[in-house]
Structure formats: structure tokens, C-alpha cells
């Protein structure tokens, strides 16, 4: 996913605010799902939600106002209820900005773990 850095993404020094990378990674996962025909809005309406159970991020160098970032979302593991993603963020010069990992758990409306729907598993697995 390409992400242009706007002023509101930065701190007073023009550097991307560190927590915004978590938002960028979530946006990249959502884009990846939609490219594979998995739409969160539909899943939520059916009582299937996803929560982030674990998140890691290692910052390598800063990104700045005006940069164009490439944010990747690679599915590396899938279990009955969990999805594990690895992320990389690079700037327009291919410089590594940060790397991250996220573990998502499939839950129901009461936030209790539930199995990934078969159609979601198939779409994400077939195109991973």
C-alpha cells in the first residue's frame, strides 16, 4: 500500500509520529484483505470481528512530511483463530523505515475467540 505522509501524520519536527505506523500497518492489512475479496464491513455484520492480540515494531529510521511510504502486509501464519502478519515500511527511496509484526484473533460480538470462517481462510490462504 502506498501512503503519502501529510502534516497531520507528523510531530512538530515534521517526523512521522511513531504510533501512526500502527495505523498504516492496519490500513495495509485491510487493503490486502479487500484485494482478496475479504471485506471487514461484511464480516462485522455477520458477527465476525478481529482484534489485535500482539503488536511489535522496530524503528530503523524516520519518515518525514511529504514522503511516500510503501507499507507491506504479509500473512505468515494462520491457525484456527489467529492470523500473524509481518510488515515492512519503506520510503520512496526504498529505505527501510520500520518492521513490525501483528497477531490478530478472530472473535465474536462478545469478543470471545471463534474459528476463522472457511471462506475467509480460503481467500487469505489461496492468495497469501
pLDDT at 128: 53
| CATH number of the structural domain spanning residue 9 | 3.10.129.10
Q: Is residue 82 part of a domain?
A: yes
Identify the domain containing residue 39 by its residue range.
Answer: 2-118
Q: Give the count of alpha carbons within 13 A of 5, CB side only.
A: 25
For the chain, what is the domain count? 1
Per annotation, catalytic residue among 11, 58, 108, 119: 11
pLDDT tens-digit series, residues 105-120? 999 999 999 999 999 9
Give every CB contact of residue 13 below 8 A, 6+ residues apart in sequence.
Answer: none
Is position 9 annotated as part of the catalytic site?
no
pTM: 0.93
Q: Is residue 88 part of a domain?
A: yes
Q: Which residue has the higher pLDDT, 6 or 125?
A: 6
**Is the pLDDT at 127 greater than 70, yes or no?**
no
pLDDT at 124: 93
Amino acid at each position: 500500500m502506498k501512503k503519502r505522509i501529510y502534516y497531520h501524520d507528523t510531530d512538530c519536527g515534521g517526523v512521522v509520529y511513531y504510533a501512526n505506523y500502527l495505523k498504516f500497518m492496519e490500513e495495509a492489512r485491510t487493503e490486502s484483505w479487500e484485494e482478496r475479496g475479504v471485506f471487514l464491513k461484511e464480516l462485522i455484520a455477520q458477527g465476525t470481528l478481529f482484534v489485535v492480540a500482539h503488536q511489535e515494531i522496530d524503528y530503523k529510521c524516520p519518515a518525514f512530511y511529504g514522503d511516500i511510504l510503501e507499507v507491506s502486509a504479509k500473512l505468515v501464519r494462520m491457525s484456527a483463530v489467529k492470523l500473524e502478519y509481518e510488515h515492512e515500511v519503506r520510503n520512496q527511496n526504498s529505505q527501510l523505515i520500520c518492521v513490525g509484526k501483528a497477531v490478530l484473533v478472530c472473535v465474536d460480538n462478545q469478543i470471545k475467540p471463534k474459528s476463522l470462517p472457511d471462506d475467509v481462510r480460503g481467500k487469505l490462504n489461496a492468495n497469501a
